[in-house]
Chain A
Amino acid sequence: MKLWKKIFLLIFFIGVFCIGINDYILVEQQHKKNVEQMQEHVLSEFQLFYENYQDSAGAFLYPEKVVDRYVYGNSDVEAALYEENDYVYNSESRFAADYESLLSVEKNERRVKIFNEEGKYYLAAAGVLNDERNMILIYTRDISQIYENRRDHYGQSVILLVIMAVFLMIIAYVFSRWITKPIKKLVNNISGISKGDFNLEFNVKESEDEIGEVEIALSRMQSELRKREEDLELEARNRQRFINGFTHEMNTPLTSVEGYSQMLRSAKLTKEQEVNALDCIIAETRRLQILYEKMKQLCLIPEEELLIENVNLAELCEEIKQELKCQLEEKQITIITEMETKEIQTDREFLRIVLSNVLRNSIIYSELDKKIVIESQRAESGIVVLISDEGNGIPQEKLQNIMEAFFRVDKSRSRKTGGMGLGLTIIAQIMEKLGGEISIESEVKKGTTVKLIFYNLATTL
């Protein structure tokens, strides 16, 4: 059963019940009071009668006459005289059986009994009239009126109860609906969330009750779920990008190798064509090897052991300059070093890979006759190495993705404009392993600055 119905029925029945109980108690109390009052009344009448009897001269001899005189004409009352437990006289004899228990009344005692005969109620008071003759007077009054009053009261209260019940129904209904309305809204939102719709609106009313709390919690949960969904989507997209990049890098050389091999096997080629075909196969196989090496690096770098030593930065840069001599000369690029700090504590080989890769990139992306500047400074947190070039730069929108595996700024992945997209990924991984950080700033057509921070080893280990 729905909640609002439960609340409605509860309010209604409790209300009706309470009103009912209330009425019952009131009526019964009133009745009891009435009975008590009547009892007092009857007793005082009895007393009157008793004293009358005592005072009356002929009473001793003819008590019947006194009784008679007293009750004559009064149909509401009746009197009975008993002598020696035998019935002697009364004006109407009907209640003999009921009087039995009253006959044992003692001297100076007043005993009272309420009984009903044939639908009417009577209050009887008994007392000893004449002790010597053992005469007992029982004075009875018809008190049916009280009981009728009670019945009337009950009748009225039932009518009133019915009217109140109708009001109660309306009020209970309105209240139960009002109270459960926010719950209904909550239920809608929750089932929306359960179906995967995280964008439903929540009016978080400022209600401080439990429902308000649930709303707040739900709203929080909803935004959490939304965020998680977005994160998963982002992850999926990144993974897809990785796969696309990887397969492309794999695919292209394979296509060439397969194609040219087939060609050599099946076609009649001129010597020149043969030589070209074999050159291509050699070159593309080499490319596959490079891909393999880089992927291996990427996977194994985290596992490798570091050999930390004092590395002379200037010396290392000279070595790298020699290594890249051909490429530098080809494009007439000069490398300028400004080393404030000459030594770094780190793994020499890894540092070499990092610097070498950054410089290679700078050379590839710079035009002829440009400069590359390598600076080193000491900062509070560690040593900072900056490599700035005057190359093509990287567009702002692509900067955040630049270190993802296989990411290329050139969407067509043209070999003319760059490599496989793994260089920076590897560098970033190495920097993390060395306890450092890499960040890149760039402006299109102006140049790029790669900032390598090597945190003080004591703090990072």
Chain B
Amino acid sequence: MNQILIVEDEKYISDLIAMNMEMIGYKYIQVYDGKSAEELVGKRTIDLVLLDIMIPEKSGYDILPAFIKAKIPVIFLTAKNEKTDIVKGLRAGADDYITKPFDQIELLARIDAVLRRCGKLNKEVEIEDVRISYDCRKVYRQGTEVEFTSKEYQLLETLVQNQNIALSREKLLEIVWGYDYVGDTRTVDVHIQRIRKKLGWEQRISTVYKYGYRVEI
């Protein structure tokens, strides 16, 4: 189970990120200044740090070396106009950055990307009697493999990796079928139906009114 360290002094934003982590199923620790963050290195397991630059006590840059030394990946949270800060941060060794205000899904995608790079991402996930192997791109129900088409699998993976978060039909179309796809969102609906049937997840994949779909775990 991955544990994410959230270093952000604005409580609302910190809570926001925490809620997101909770939905995905990651554990998290919230600290509100640089000094406290630095002190946690070595004392608690940290798989990834979400680090705001402008924090009290010690700035994001100042504590970055501590995390690099401990081989903990870092994602910077920056405001849009701090271009030089972004460059500075990346050069100093951060793994990625995300600008505020950030898109929920983008944040989660970046976190996953960094974790995958460090090999910390789960290779598979088990939800009751269903097992999804990300590595092999296979789905098992009660131990037996279930045939999934490529698009079906991608759709399932996207929903599961963003578990508990509703994704709009348009967004799903974009992510799974790409920007160039000339078709309408009914394709998404059709595929969702098929997945539901194959896994018996009629309840688990809930329809969000006027929006899209959500996998509830």
Chain A residues with a Cβ under 8 A of chain B:
243-244, 247-248, 251-252, 254-256, 258-260, 262-263, 265-269, 273, 276, 280, 283-284, 410-417
Contact = CB atoms under 8 A, between A and B. Distances in A.
Contact of A413 (B54, B81, B101, B167): B54
B135 to A, nearest CB: 28
Contact of B12 (A243, A248, A256, A410): A256
Interface of B: 9-10, 12-13, 15-16, 19-20, 23, 33, 54-56, 59, 79-82, 100-104, 164-167, 206, 208, 211-212, 214, 216
A263 B10 contact: no
A260 B12 CA distance: 9
Contacts of A244: 79, 81-82
Nearest to A254: B101
Contacts of A273: 19
13 contacts: A247-B81, A251-B100, A252-B10, A256-B13, A262-B103, A263-B20, A266-B208, A267-B166, A267-B214, A268-B216, A280-B16, A283-B12, A411-B54
B63 to A, nearest CB: 13
Contacts of A255: 13, 16, 100-102
A265 B214 contact: no
A247 B167 contact: no
A410 B212 CA distance: 43
A263 B13 CA distance: 12
Contacts of A256: 10, 12-13, 16
Contacts of A259: 13, 16, 101-102, 104
B19 A266 contact: no
A251 B56 contact: no
Nearest to B16: A259
B13 A252 contact: yes
A400 B59 CA distance: 24
Contact of A276 (B9, B15, B167, B216): B15
Given A247-B80, A247-B81, A411 B166 contact: no
B100 A267 contact: no
Nearest to A263: B19
The 10 closest A-B pairs by CB, nearest first: A266-B166, A255-B101, A256-B12, A259-B16, A412-B56, A255-B100, A258-B101, A412-B54, A280-B12, A414-B56
Contacts of A258: 101
Contact of A248 (B54, B214, B216): B54
A263 B79 contact: no
Given A244-B81, A255-B101, A258-B101, A414 B9 contact: yes
A284 B12 CA distance: 9
Given A248-B79, A256-B13, A263-B16, 12 more contacts: A247-B79, A255-B100, A258-B101, A259-B101, A266-B165, A266-B166, A266-B212, A266-B214, A280-B12, A411-B54, A415-B10, A417-B56
Contacts of B216: 268
Contacts of A262: 103-104
Contacts of A251: 79-80, 100-101
B16 A265 contact: no
B200 to A, nearest CB: 20
Which of A256, A280, A412, A414 has the most CB atoms of chain B within a 10 A radius of its CB? A412
B87 to A, nearest CB: 16
B15 A280 contact: yes
